Amino acid sequence: MSFISNKAIPVQERLIMALDVPSITDAQALVEELGDSVIFYKVGMELFMSGDYFGFIDWLKQRNKKVFVDLKFFDVPATVGRAIKALSSKGVDFATIHGNNAIMEAAATNKGDLKVLAVTALTSLDRGDLDDLGFQCDVKALVLSRAKRALEIGCDGIVSSGLEVSMIRKELDSRLLVITPGIRPVDNREDDDQKRVVSVEQAFQNGADYIVVGRPIRDAQNRKAMAIKIQSQIASQF
């Protein structure tokens, strides 16, 4: 069964490029290299620690790019609420949070026009990793529980592996935005830390609204050509 997204999202914006590079200079060079092949960028903790993070966000917005701040806010609910409120004034489009109901409620209350995404289970975790963390339930049960709570509390969406998206769509229809990382348009490498991965086509057939792609574009010999190829794969699904 296909759960192709019916949301009014421009097709070219459905690809979110993860800027997992060591410095702001590297990130700017990559954005310029990719040009108009990518509109939406994810900026995470590596860049947060490397320099003028918010100056770089302004730089992206000046170039009409959309921005996904992936810092997975997790702290005392009041602190998360204030952080999300401050971030909402920066022109950012998406931001991730992690944690319990109180944290999600604080973020949802303070988000303004910013879309808040709750992390379900990281795509770098498998069953053994969840056992180590003390989660005795099935991965799918954990993801579904968090997705349901995020929807009830007022978050805009979730970050979820493509392996669980079809289950979420069956249970919660199309109300939540679903952003799917761990996309591999080619075979997974042995040194890849992503374990629960899917292809571009699988992710969208299962119901993803957006996909996050990093390594396959960043490590390609011709980065722009790879981004264009992935955009073509996405377009073929809509």
d(CA 112, CA 14): 22
What domain count does the chain have?
1
What pLDDT, on the 0 to 100 scale, is given for residue 110? 97
Q: Within a domain: residue 60?
A: yes
Q: What are phi and psi for residue 83, nearest 5 degrees?
A: -65, -45
Secondary structure (DSSP) of 77-102: HHHHHHHHHHHGGGT--EEEE-S-HH
Domain ranges, residue 67: 11-230
Give residue-wise pLDDT tens across range 113-150.
999 999 875 444 455 545 554 555 566 777 788 889 89
Which of these is catalytic: 61, 65, 72, 229? 72
CATH number at residue 53: 3.20.20.70
Q: Within a domain: residue 236?
A: no
The reply to whether 7 belongs to the active site is no
Give residue-wise pLDDT tens across range 58-77.
999 999 999 999 999 999 99
pTM tops 0.75: yes
Q: Within a domain: residue 57?
A: yes
Q: Within a domain: residue 152?
A: yes
Q: Within a domain: residue 77?
A: yes
Q: Within a domain: residue 2?
A: no
Q: Within a domain: residue 94?
A: yes
Q: What is the mean pLDDT of residues 15-42?
A: 97
